[in-house]
Amino acid sequence: MPLLRSWIETANSAETEFPLNNLPYGVFSVGDGDLRCGVAIGDRIVDATGLEAAGLLRADPDADVLDAPFWNDFMELGTTVWASYRAALTEMLAEGASEDAQDAITTYSVPMADATLHMPFRVAEYTDFYAGRHHATNVGTMFRGAENALPPNWLHIPIGYNGRASSVVVSGTEVRRPWGQLKSPDHEVPAFLPCRRFDIELEMGAIVGTGSDRPVSVDEAEDMIFGYVLLNDWSARDIQAWEYQPLGPFQAKATATSISPWIVTKAALEPFRTSTPEREKELLPYLTENKPGLYDIPLSVTIQPENGSETVLAQTNYSEMYYSSAQQLAHHTTAGSPMNAGDLLGSGTISGPTKPERGSLLELSWGGKEPIEIEGGTRTFIEDGDTLTLKGAAQGDGFRVGFGDCTGKVIPALDASDLPYKTER
């Protein structure tokens, strides 16, 4: 698919993440104005809430679904409306659009540089998976040895756990280093301390658009997914190591999960579809895919110390996943739990086969044993003042389809005197 040309010239650049081929959905405000639904195009944001209120572009003729600071009500309308809305908006933005359309967009759009971006949707519930094979193998090797790296169930189940929806934040939100209960290997008893092994996990997040209260197939799950975001699952490795047996990670994953400000729709990603890898073990029929379930999306993560320069920590690709989001969602529905609009499914950490493709510091520094060189220093885990940024854009023929950076600066833990209890015994 070639670049779709827009009469908004900045959308035609080979560099922009927001050509007419993309049209990702977000929520923005300007100055002290209210939060509005917006669509990114080149260096502008189309005010979708304004277009709806003015009757110039409506998703639902009978209800205002964009009169809210989130896209959830729109998402619930389902695939037919998603497609017709996208088609109508594409027509208004395409080269040769009518003068009326161009007037409407000119009236109802703002420069992206003037806008503040907010959470693009209300997170109903958040699930995180563990479905990248290289990541699971690396972590398993560190914790259990190379022979037992993959748990026995791993090649059969997209392993997942429920996370904390209230901890999901939009890119740009500062992330405060957590305190927590942890135990050093050389201590008899645990202590309450600021996390010393704070980490990222480079992931993609799939957003459920339409819900279901019965088990669904992978094909049906595919139709339920509205779009994707970049997702950084901040992880406190020392808290995790002490707490996770036997019921899984809890406070280690509760500090924050950052997502990109823009939801890229399935429609925009369609040209980049690619298959999940060959299966080492045959999957059960309920996980059968009838079309390629992944996307070719080059991803990277960078680190930038306070007052320092940026270093690329790793580069990988969403196509490295073993299970697709649709497979994860189908598995999620097997036992009867209803899924709802706004449910967010983290892919699991995406690592490639080689060292520079590892999507977490835990893997990059091999559990802290092999410090990584960065501009102006070294790192095993994140230090205060570091800004971590995920980037991702699918590469088309002369255009890119991106998500906007997913960034977060780590600020120091609360001072002990600001906690409502003593921290030492």
Does residue 379 have a known ligand-binding role?
A: no
What is the token pair recorded at 329? 């969602």
The reply to whether 192 sits near a second copy by the rule CB under 8 A is yes
Q: Which is nearer to a second copy, 38 or 163 (CB)?
A: 163
Specify whether the CB–CB gap between 71 and 120 falls below 8 A: yes
Specify whether the CB–CB gap between 168 and 257 falls below 8 A: yes
The reply to whether 148 sits near a second copy by the rule CB under 8 A is no
Q: Which is nearer to a second copy, 140 or 271 (CB)?
A: 140
The reply to whether 346 sits near a second copy by the rule CB under 8 A is no
How many C-beta neighbours within 10 Å does residue 153 have?
8
Q: Which whole-number Å values give the CA distances from 372 to 62, 179, 310, 410, in the listed order?
A: 56, 25, 14, 18
Question: Looking at 18-26, 332-340, 371-379, 398-406, which segment touches a second copy (CB under 8 A)?
Answer: 332-340
Question: Looking at 70-78, 83-91, 186-194, 301-309, which segment touches a second copy (CB under 8 A)?
Answer: 186-194
Distance CA 202, CA 301 (A): 7
Kindly determine how many residues on this chain lie close enough to bind a second copy according to the rule CB under 8 A: 70
Question: DSSP string spanning 351-389?
Answer: --SSGGG-SSHHHHTTTTTSPEEETTEEESS--TT-EEE
Question: Looking at 238-246, 261-269, 314-322, 385-393, which segment touches a second copy (CB under 8 A)?
Answer: 238-246
Does residue 60 have a known ligand-binding role?
A: no
In single-letter form, the type of residue at position 93 comes to L
Smallest gap from Cβ 334 to a second copy, in A, equals: 5
Does residue 244 have a known ligand-binding role?
A: yes
Does residue 214 have a known ligand-binding role?
A: no
Phi, psi of 170 (to 5 degrees): -85, 155
Q: CB under 8 Å to 155, separation ≥6 — which residues? A: 279, 280, 281
The reply to whether 194 sits near a second copy by the rule CB under 8 A is no
Question: Looking at 59-67, 180-188, 351-359, 394-402, which segment touches a second copy (CB under 8 A)?
Answer: 180-188
The reply to whether 153 sits near a second copy by the rule CB under 8 A is yes
Q: Which is nearer to a second copy, 88 or 254 (CB)?
A: 254
The reply to whether 408 sits near a second copy by the rule CB under 8 A is no
Q: Which whole-number Å values give the CA distances from 366 to 38, 57, 231, 310, 355, in the listed order?
A: 41, 52, 22, 21, 10
Whether the upstream peptide bond of residue 69 has omega within 30° of 0, thus cis, is no
- Residues in a beta bridge with 354: none
Element (H, E) at 179: strand 179-182
Does residue 233 have a known ligand-binding role?
A: yes
The reply to whether 339 sits near a second copy by the rule CB under 8 A is yes
**Does the annotation count 135 as an active-site position?**
yes
Pick out the residues of the known binding site for Mg(2+): 233, 253, 257
Pick out the residues of the known binding site for substrate: 130, 144, 240, 244, 349
Contact footprint for a second copy (CB under 8 A) = 124-125, 130, 151, 153, 156-157, 159-167, 176, 178-181, 183, 189-192, 214-217, 220, 236, 239, 242-252, 254-256, 281-282, 284-286, 288, 331-332, 334-340, 414, 419-425
Residues assigned a catalytic role: 135
